[in-house]
Amino acid sequence: MKKGHGGCGGPGDEEAGKTGMLMKRWGILRGEQDNLLKDLKESAVSCEKLGKKYGVSRQAIYAFSKSQEIKRPLKPRGHQTKECRLCQKLIQISKKPHSEFISFQTIRKETGTSRGKYYYHLQTLRNGGLVNEKFGRLRSIRAEKAYVIYTLRIDSRTAQ
């Protein structure tokens, strides 16, 4: 075996030579090349986190990905409403009949959130068109109770 090739193939095998040099230069990655390649191609995990996982610096991971010409997937931007439990709970509450007449205090009590968190998630859902604009705007618990009484009276009259 010739010196200067990092233990990889002959002089004609450039890509293997690059990888071998990089692996020798950055040490610990030797047996983990396949796993690292998979992580780099399939996940949007940062180079820093991958570096910690494999025991090397973020710069080593970045250099490896550039040498292999790997196109990294983009991280999803913004709030992920499909994975957020609070957003899913708010959507579930908003699908109830007459949900625009549920006061924000009742909704907050049902979800168990602080005022700031509640408003952030609700605004995100409104902007995305996932809940009605009127949902969660009612400020008065008394108005909510009055509406419940009103609907009960209407329902009892129509049932007769």
Q: Are residues 114 and 155 in the same domain?
A: yes
In a domain, 73, yes or no: no
Residue 96: pLDDT over 80: yes
DSSP notation for 7-60: TSS-TT-HHHHHHHHHHHHH-GGGGGHHHHHHHHHH----HHHHHHHHTS-HHH
Pick the range with the lowest mean pLDDT from 18-27, 50-59, 91-100.
18-27
Asked if residue 41 and residue 104 are part of one domain, the reply reads: no
Output DSSP code: residue 154: H
Q: Residue 61: which domain range?
A: 14-67
Domain presence at residue 79: no
User: pTM for this structure?
Assistant: 0.50
In a domain, 3, yes or no: no
Question: Does 36 lie in the same domain as 95?
Answer: no
**Per-residue pLDDT tens over the stretch 9-39:** 434 444 445 555 444 455 556 677 788 888 8
- Is 80 domain-assigned? no
Check pLDDT > 80 for residue 145.
yes
